[in-house]
Chain A
Amino acid sequence: MNIDAELTEIFHRVYENFCDEFPESHLPPFTMDLPLLGSKSSLESMDFVSLVVQFESELSERFSRPIRLMDDRAMSETKSPFKTASTLIEFARRVIAESDASDLS
């Protein structure tokens, strides 16, 4: 499985677990276009925090090193990397690739 597919699977699982834990939230099913932030998102702000933290935790476990998604770059990018599932997954891929590179240096 390539890294994009694996990250998608991890986030999909995190999202499904979250929906199962809070069925009263009536969240939409997972798609790559799932809005996470902004007016189109069905997530409450605390739901969003929980999802990102859980995703971070799963990534840290999978890649056996600390992964922090909320870094300076995440805050400085003109388009938020947390806007949709696909942008978050793409951002996570870049963070992991960079931590791979720093491990090698």
Chain B
Amino acid sequence: MSDARRIVLVTGARKGIGRSLAEKFLAQGDFVIGCSRQPFEGETAGYEHHCLDVSDEQAVTELFHHIRTKHGRLDILINNAAIGLMNHSLLSPISAVRQLFDTNVIGTFLFSQEAAKLMMPTRRGRIVNFSSIVVPLSLEGEAAYAASKSAIETLTKTMSLELASYGITVNAIGPTPVATDLISGVTQKQIQKILDRQGIKRLAKMEDIYNVVHFFVSDESDFVTGQVVYLGGVS
């Protein structure tokens, strides 16, 4: 018998935004598949966790083979996994830049590819990518991170056109800073500089992010694709 619950895959689900989103989907009654490099602490009904590197092609294809075999379909993909790099462009080690692009861009690309293949037969699906306000703000010290998020925005817009005829929407959210590990190395002064450039001058809350994600993945949003929504009055 097929599972009536939505099947949701969240990358980077161990902590931070990913974990919060996974918990929100679970609370909505969805079945959630999470992944991250490190194990997930705690057991939750309706949740399964997989340890992998999102840019590892073989591991990712095996995960999707598992989803196909066990669940038969995928309804929603949240491409949340990302790493940051706060450094002047001239002081950024290329190995770190490469690793950042592997996780942020290749990971998003690979998961979107495999998810779309699973969504195509059902002629419906939702892919939500994570950009950032660093793209429109062109923040100094975030060259590599911003470049990777720009790539994700372009990927979002292009894939939205390529997948539209299959009933799959692809959108992106660009959060402002939110209190997670990703900004743990950012000073209060740097945070304040960003807040000063926002229309609404506060950190994002998890609810702000879920609100936009929830809009993108709802059944009623089947005419919304290729969009990037920034939080906090940034444009």
Contact = CB atoms under 8 A, between A and B. Distances in A.
Interface of A: 46, 50, 53-54, 56-57, 60-61, 65-66, 68
B68 A57 contact: yes
Given A66-B62, A68-B61, A50 B120 contact: yes
Contacts of A50: 120
Interface size class of B (residues with CB under 8 A): 10 to 19
Contacts of B165: 46
Contact of A65 (B57, B65, B120, B121): B65
Nearest to A56: B117
A56 B57 CA distance: 15
Contacts of A53: 117, 120
A46 to B, nearest CB: 6
A66 B117 contact: no
Q: Is the interface of A mostly helix, strand, loop or mixed?
A: helix
A60 B117 CA distance: 12
Given A46-B165, A57-B68, A60-B68, A66 B120 contact: no
B130 interface: no
Interface of B: 57-58, 61-62, 64-65, 68, 117, 120-121, 165
Nearest to A52: B117
Contacts of A61: 68
A11 to B, nearest CB: 17
B159 to A, nearest CB: 12
Nearest to B165: A46
A71 B127 CA distance: 23
Given A60-B65, A61-B68, A68-B57, 13 more contacts: A50-B120, A53-B117, A53-B120, A54-B120, A57-B117, A57-B121, A65-B62, A65-B65, A66-B58, A66-B61, A66-B62, A66-B64, A68-B61
A57 B58 CA distance: 16
A54 B165 CA distance: 16
A98 to B, nearest CB: 13
A54 B116 CA distance: 12
A70 to B, nearest CB: 9
22 contacts: A46-B165, A50-B120, A53-B117, A53-B120, A54-B120, A54-B121, A56-B117, A57-B68, A57-B117, A57-B121, A60-B65, A60-B68, A61-B68, A65-B62, A65-B65, A66-B58, A66-B61, A66-B62, A66-B64, A66-B65, A68-B57, A68-B61
Closest 5 CB pairs of A and B: A66-B61, A66-B65, A53-B117, A66-B62, A60-B65
Contacts of A65: 62, 65
Contacts of B61: 66, 68
Contacts of A56: 117
A49 B57 CA distance: 20
Contacts of A54: 120-121
A82 B93 CA distance: 40
